[in-house]
Amino acid sequence: MITNLRIANVALIDEVEVDFAAGLNILSGETGAGKSIVVDSINFLLGGRTSRDFIRAGAEFASVTGIIDINGPFFEYVKEGLFSLGLEARDGQIMLSRTMQTDSGKSTCRINGSVVTVGLLKSAAEFLVDLHGQHEHQSLLDPVKQLQMLDAFCGDELAAHKTTLEQLLLRYKENNRALKALAGVGNQRQEQIDIWRFQLEEIQSAALKPNEEDALTQKRDRLSGLEKLSKNTAAAIALLCGWTAPGQLSAVDQTAKAVAHSAEIAKIDPSRENLHATLADIHTQLSEIAQDFRDYSDELDADPLELDKVETRLDTIYRLKKKYGGTIENILKKQEELVANLDGLENSEAEIKRLQGIRKEITKEITTLCDKMNTIRADGATQISDSISEILRGLGMQHAKFFMQISRKTSFGSDGNDAVEFMISPNPGEPDKPLRKIASGGEMSRIMLAIKTIMTDKISTVIFDEVDTGVSGRTAQQVAEKLMRVSRTRQILCITHLPQIAAMADTHFLIEKTAHNERTVTKVLPLAQNEIINELARLTGGAQITDATLKAAEEMKNQANSLKGDCES
């Protein structure tokens, strides 16, 4: 509920601070005193639109601040709603403020001191306050909230169906995800198969082998230097095995002769046998090396196109690495994955048919459940419509016809497939139209009062402006009693001209206009008990207050207190 409201530089208000209480808060005053200014200020605070005319003449800005206590029966609902917007109530309170600058006409909105957008301010206010009259902040006009109110009225049976529906929807979503994974959407499944098959054939046709790239790289480097290799190999063979110059022996022949000489030395001097043996080993090694060079020379006599073949193969490996993983090992792993994926997708027809069958059964269960929910809602809507229409007749709208229009949507969600719209035909011959399109502030306030009398929502503060327009006598008393009953479960702020309504106040404020320093100023004053009687007398008899009107006012207040006592007991 709103516990404190501060208004500065708004229209005729210089600066006003009001402490509201629980229950029914009545604001009354002379015509033109500024009662609508208070409502306009609250509407501004809740995110409503306004113009620079809203700002007091000569002031640089207008500012409205409200402190709202969310402790109470709707605490969890409000707390969760604010949390969904990223907001937190500190110590069970939330502070809203909004300031408009005269020069720019732009406003600055704050929640708990932090700057927010006007959209966020308005969204937060929807969990806190309902304002009904000629203003636009009316959360009960939202079809989504209308459906929630109808469901709350329908009770446990519908709630149980909604719990079952949530479980069915979860199964439906899981089934749908599995089907999409297997079947895709439209032609995506076949497209995926074609893509995977192309990738697999591309990798398989390459017939890659582990470590192949290193071997090919070495071979390419060797083939690239073939001319130098052949020249140096021939020179080495010539030195080891052939004549390099006329009369000069090769290295192999020279070591052969040296071995022969060392053999003669060893015969004469056996202590040098080791020299002979070592030299003989060297000769053998040289002969083997010479043969290796001759074999290598034969290998160098390669196909001139071999280098092109190696380059082409390396280019294929490079291209596949770029597409599938950076290394041959990753490409081969991708090949295994493609084989497994294709096997699963190409052989999934049976699984797809099984899942489609399950989805069909789930859809059938959901449809049946939605039909049951629709029946319950239709019954509840009939009861509510009859009751509200009856209440409206007692509130001075004798010919009004209220009903709930329930339509079926083609899709279903967590609330089923029903859409609800509150409809009204205020007078005979007028067409039925959505409640949100009703223009009259007084009619709207009384309709909302009737709705809140019958139905349950979770907004802790309700503001009624113009609720008494066009009513008097017994109808005024009916409106007063309905307001009092609604105020037993939530805070009501009501502007009125009628003494029957004002007499029901738990807290009464007088809005009066005075001249101060040659300027007109509107003030909001809390009234003591004797002052309340005087105000009731003024509302009853006008400017002329007599002993009779005072006595009548006192009796009216006593009767109102008695009714409130009976209601609370």
**DSSP result, 492-513:** EEEE-S-HHHHTT-SEEEEEEE
Query: What pLDDT, in 10s, does the model give residues 270-302?
Result: 888 898 888 889 888 888 888 888 887 777 765
> Taking the model in full, what pTM does it have?
0.63
Residue 118 within any structural domain of the chain: yes
Contacts of 516 (CB under 8 A, 6+ apart): none
Angle between helices 273-299 and 226-241 (to 10 degrees): 150
Contacts of 127 (CB under 8 A, 6+ apart): 77, 78, 81, 82, 459
Residue 454 within any structural domain of the chain: no
Residue 543 within any structural domain of the chain: yes
Percent of the chain scoring above 90 in pLDDT: 26
Task: Please list the residues that pair with 111 across neighbouring strands.
Answer: 96, 114
For 30, other C-beta atoms within 10 Å of its C-beta total: 14
The SS3 of residue 536 is helix
How does residue 526 score in pLDDT terms, banded at 50, 70 and 90? very high
- Cα(17)–Cα(450) distance, rounded to whole angstroms? 31
Residue 78 within any structural domain of the chain: yes
Query: What pLDDT, in 10s, does the model give residues 314-347?
Result: 888 888 888 887 888 888 888 888 888 788 777 7
Nearest to 341, CA basis, from 492, 148, 203, 502: 203
Residue 297 within any structural domain of the chain: no
Query: What pLDDT, in 10s, does the model give residues 42-95?
Result: 999 998 888 888 898 889 999 999 999 988 777 888 888 888 888 887 778 899
Query: Do 262 and 279 touch, CB atoms closer than 8 A?
Result: yes
For 466, list phi and psi in degrees, rounded to 5. 70, 20
CA distances from 465 to 127, 133, 370, 468 (A): 19, 5, 39, 8
What's residue 543's pLDDT?
66
Amino acid letter, 404: M
Residue 87 within any structural domain of the chain: yes
The SS3 of residue 124 is helix
Contacts of 150 (CB under 8 A, 6+ apart): 377, 380, 381, 384, 404, 420, 455
Q: In which element (H, E) is residue 148 found?
A: helix 143-154
Query: What pLDDT, in 10s, does the model give residues 401-459?
Result: 889 999 999 898 999 999 999 998 877 777 888 887 775 666 777 788 888 888 766 78
- Cα(448)–Cα(435) distance, rounded to whole angstroms? 10
| Side-by-side strand order, sheet with 114-116 | 13-19, 2-10, 61-69, 93-101, 107-111, 114-116
Query: What pLDDT, in 10s, does the model give residues 192-202?
Result: 788 888 989 99
The SS3 of residue 138 is coil
Range of the domain at 36: 1-128+492-569
Query: What pLDDT, in 10s, does the model give residues 137-181?
Result: 456 678 888 898 888 888 889 999 999 999 999 999 988 887 887
Count of structural domains, the chain: 1
| Side-by-side strand order, sheet with 416-425 | 401-413, 416-425, 433-434
Q: Specify the DSSP class assigned to residue 469.
A: T
What's residue 324's pLDDT?
84
Look up the CATH number of the domain holding residue 516: 3.40.50.300
Tell me how far apart the terminal alpha carbons of the chain are, to the nearest angstrom.
23
